[in-house]
């Protein structure tokens, strides 16, 4: 039967990984895939992670099954990191296979219960969002995430979408460090977003993958926490893969938030059931590492220091880009005030291709640039290359 399956287009971003690996030019620069890289182009294992791994090797008593929830203490510790002590008591969580796994289970939850719900996405958004929800059978609707001036969150477009939505629909919001634009709602706007959703009986689904890559671990969670303060229920998909540098270990959690304990129990039972039919139980190692770090004040302090250093370097890169000659014309004028790893440049396919062929600079096909992989000393060369392809 294989031959009657539909042909699949190659994922343009994943194809770039191969193209970059086989490019022989010295000084080639990969700004496409969303991983942090140091000045030598490496994605090192964080020191706190190595220390936690040493402990696990030494002390782990068993590798027997844990069950579909995965590591329960991991989900508790992560809940506190994400929601803060104040709100974490109103949430329950399970470990998932990365943030993507959490989003998939969230999509399954939204499709369960015999209620037909749509999911609303502000676009542009992470390239996996639309196919993921569509694959789960949820009707997808979109509205513009970015305002007409191109510099801020489009609250008007969001509020118009809220009016068009049917009660019970869900709205996906990225908690901070928006992928691909770097543009987040400002603090005061989060409460307005929450109130608008609550007034119309709509469900917030928050995708949090870049906590700590904007203004700080606590600061980046504040808007989302303000929103949670004014809604009765929410679902939060958390990824630890950027924040702990654990990418291939696939660490994440699904948190369900609300006031009704019986409702939360039902949500968890359903989430568990969805996981059981899919991968049964999540892989342990990465979550055990995160739990070991968050459960130990010393390791947690080392991790925070490392994350702070990554963020400070990223912010210095953003400031240098915004201060470079012709920054506004290149679409870089606003990047210093944005958060997360990415910015989205107004480049067409031919310009992206010229950056690659002439300058060995790889950016995503839609013009998304991973600033967390751009060394400070190469900012000048990058903006010159950009001017060459964009302003000629
Ligand atoms: N959400 C957003 C916005 C992302 O950018 C990503 C990864 O790039 C994810 C979720 C999922 O990440 P992972 O499945 O690696 O945890």
Residues 79 and 114 in one domain: yes
Residues 190 and 328 in one domain: no
Q: Is residue 155 part of a domain?
A: yes
Q: Is residue 54 part of a domain?
A: no
Residues 264 and 347 in one domain: no
Distance (Å) of CA 22 to CA 133, 233, 252, 331: 33, 48, 31, 30
Is the C-beta atom of 209 inside 6 A of ligand 1?
yes
Give the nearest ligand 1 atom to 247 CA. Answer: 15
Residues 195 and 70 in one domain: yes
pLDDT classification of 13: cutoffs 50, 70, 90: confident
Q: Is residue 333 part of a domain?
A: yes
Residues 331 and 234 in one domain: no
CATH number reported for the structural domain that contains residue 320 in this entry: 3.90.1150.10
192 has catalytic annotation = no
Give the nearest ligand 1 atom to 252 CA. Answer: 16
Radius of gyration of the chain (CA): 21
Residue pair 124/344 in contact by the 8 Å Cβ criterion: yes
Residues 77 and 175 in one domain: yes
Within 10 Å of residue 242's Cβ, how many Cβ atoms?
24
The whole-angstrom distance between residue 244's C-alpha and the CA centroid of its chain comes to 13
Q: Is residue 50 part of a domain?
A: no
Q: What is the pLDDT of residue 153?
A: 97
- The whole-chain average pLDDT of the chain stands at 96
Residues 171 and 286 in one domain: yes
Residue 392 predicted with pLDDT over 80: no
Using CA atoms, how far apart are residues 252 and 290, in angstroms rounded to an integer? 10
Is the C-beta atom of 245 inside 6 A of ligand 1?
no
Angle of the 261-278 helix axis to the 98-111 helix axis, nearest 10: 110
User: Which SS3 state, helix, strand or coil, does residue 27 take?
Assistant: coil
CATH number reported for the structural domain that contains residue 132 in this entry: 3.40.640.10
Residues 216 and 249 in one domain: yes
Q: Is residue 59 part of a domain?
A: no
242 has catalytic annotation = yes
| End-to-end CA gap in the chain | 51
ipTM of the complex: 0.99
User: Last residue of some domain: 295, 320, 345?
Assistant: 295
Residues 108 and 229 in one domain: yes
Residues 102 and 11 in one domain: no
Q: Is residue 52 part of a domain?
A: no
Residues 15 and 148 in one domain: no
Using CA atoms, how far apart are residues 134 and 118, in angstroms rounded to an integer? 10
120 has catalytic annotation = no
Residues 144 and 232 in one domain: yes
Residue-wise pLDDT tens digits, 37-62: 998 889 999 999 999 999 999 999 99
Q: Is residue 304 part of a domain?
A: no
Residue-wise pLDDT tens digits, 295-310: 999 999 999 999 999 9
User: Last residue of some domain: 247, 262, 295?
Assistant: 295
Residue 275 predicted with pLDDT over 90: yes
Can you give the residue range of the structural domain that contains 287?
65-295
Q: What is the pLDDT of residue 149?
A: 87
Q: How many domains does the chain have?
A: 2
Give the nearest ligand 1 atom to 34 CA. Answer: 8
User: Which SS3 state, helix, strand or coil, does residue 311 take?
Assistant: helix
Cα of 256 vs centre of ligand 1, distance in Å, is: 18
Q: Is residue 302 part of a domain?
A: no
User: Last residue of some domain: 295, 330, 351?
Assistant: 295
């Amino acid at each position: 039967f294989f031959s009657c399956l539909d042909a699949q287009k190659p994922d343009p971003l994943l194809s770039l990984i191969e193209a970059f690996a086989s490019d022989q030019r010295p000084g080639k620069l990969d700004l496409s895939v969303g991983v942090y890289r140091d000045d030598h182009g490496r994605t090192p294992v964080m020191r706190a992670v190595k220390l936690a791994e040493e402990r696990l090797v030494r002390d782990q008593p068993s590798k027997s099954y844990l069950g579909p929830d995965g590591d329960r203490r991991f989900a508790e510790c992560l809940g506190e990191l994400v929601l803060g002590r104040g709100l974490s008591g109103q949430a329950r969580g399970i470990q998932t296979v990365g943030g993507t796994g959490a989003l998939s289970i969230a999509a399954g939850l939204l499709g369960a219960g015999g209620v037909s719900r749509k999911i609303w996405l502000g676009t542009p958004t992470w390239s996996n969002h639309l196919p993921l929800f569509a694959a789960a059978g949820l009707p997808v609707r979109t509205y513009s995430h970015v305002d007409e001036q191109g510099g801020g969150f489009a609250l008007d477009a969001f509020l118009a979408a809220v009016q068009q939505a049917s009660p019970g629909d869900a709205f996906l919001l990225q908690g901070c460090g928006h992928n691909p634009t770097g543009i987040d709602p400002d603090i005061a706007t989060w409460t307005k977003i929450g109130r608008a959703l609550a007034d119309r009986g709509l469900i917030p689904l928050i995708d949090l993958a870049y906590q700590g890559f904007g203004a700080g671990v606590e600061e980046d969670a504040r808007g989302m926490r303000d929103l949670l303060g004014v809604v009765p229920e929410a679902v939060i998909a958390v990824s630890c893969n950027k924040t702990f540098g654990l990418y291939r270990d696939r660490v994440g959690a699904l948190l369900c938030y609300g006031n009704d304990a019986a409702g939360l129990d039902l949500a968890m039972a359903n989430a568990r059931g969805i996981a059981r039919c899919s991968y049964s139980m999540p892989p342990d190692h990465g979550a055990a590492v995160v739990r070991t770090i968050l459960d130990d004040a010393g390791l947690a302090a080392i991790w925070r220091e490392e994350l702070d250093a990554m963020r400070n370097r990223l912010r210095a890169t953003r400031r240098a880009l915004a201060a470079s000659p012709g920054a506004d014309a290149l679409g870089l004028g606003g990047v210093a005030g944005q958060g997360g790893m990415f910015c989205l440049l107004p480049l067409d396919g031919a310009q992206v291709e010229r950056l690659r062929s002439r300058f060995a600079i790889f950016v995503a096909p839609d013009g998304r640039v991973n600033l967390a992989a751009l060394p400070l000393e190469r900012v000048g060369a990058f903006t010159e290359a950009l001017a060459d392809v964009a302003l000629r």
